[in-house]
């Protein structure tokens, strides 16, 4: 069948595929379908993230190598510069910090960002500006 006749058959809705392929499919009748496949065979894969029975019925999977404190995110909305040492302490505890500085005066907010940015730099962390007056500071263990 030529390409044009196949295209015409597809467009008009003719079932040309039935005539092009053999209906004689070979099946291996030596395999008994009533017998289940053996577990632990060469085709089954072991679950490398199996954490035992502690999470049965839960969709939570633990992340090996990350403690729960490293995954913590602290959100701060400081009203004065006096609250900034709490941010530095949280960074030293390897927590990620999001600081919303909309409640502070612009000059105090700039001073606060500079202070926390200096602390972040000292521990080899990194910072990102998330919004107009919102900043994210993360320790070096967070990518």
Where in the chain are the domains?
73-138
Which residue did the predictor score with more confidence, 27 or 13? 13
- 66 pLDDT more than 70: no
What's the rounded mean pLDDT across residues 47-75? 60
Find the radius of gyration of the CA atoms of the chain.
Answer: 31
CATH among 3.40.50.720, 3.40.50.300, 3.30.110.150, 3.30.43.10 for 73-138: 3.30.110.150
Higher-confidence residue: 39 or 86? Answer: 86
Q: Report percent pLDDT > 70 for the chain.
A: 54
Res 6: pLDDT: 72
Q: Could you tell me which residues come within 8 angstroms of residue 136 by beta carbon, excluding any fewer than 6 positions away?
A: 96, 97, 98, 99, 127, 128, 129, 130
**Residue 122: per-residue pLDDT:** 92
> Looking at per-residue confidence, does 64 or 77 come out higher?
77
């Amino acid at each position: 069948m030529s390409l044009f006749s196949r295209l015409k058959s597809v467009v008009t809705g003719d079932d040309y595929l039935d005539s092009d392929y053999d209906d004689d499919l070979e099946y291996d009748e030596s395999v008994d379908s009533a017998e289940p496949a053996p577990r632990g065979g060469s085709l089954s894969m072991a679950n490398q993230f199996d954490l035992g029975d502690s999470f049965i019925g839960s969709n939570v999977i633990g992340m090996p190598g990350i403690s729960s404190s490293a995954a913590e995110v602290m959100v701060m909305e400081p009203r004065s510069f006096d609250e900034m040492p709490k941010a530095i302490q949280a960074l030293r505890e390897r927590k990620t910090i999001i600081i919303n500085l909309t409640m502070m005066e612009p000059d105090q907010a700039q001073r606060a960002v500079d202070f926390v940015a200096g602390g972040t730099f000292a521990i080899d962390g990194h910072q990102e500006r998330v919004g107009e007056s919102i900043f994210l500071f993360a320790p070096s263990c967070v990518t």
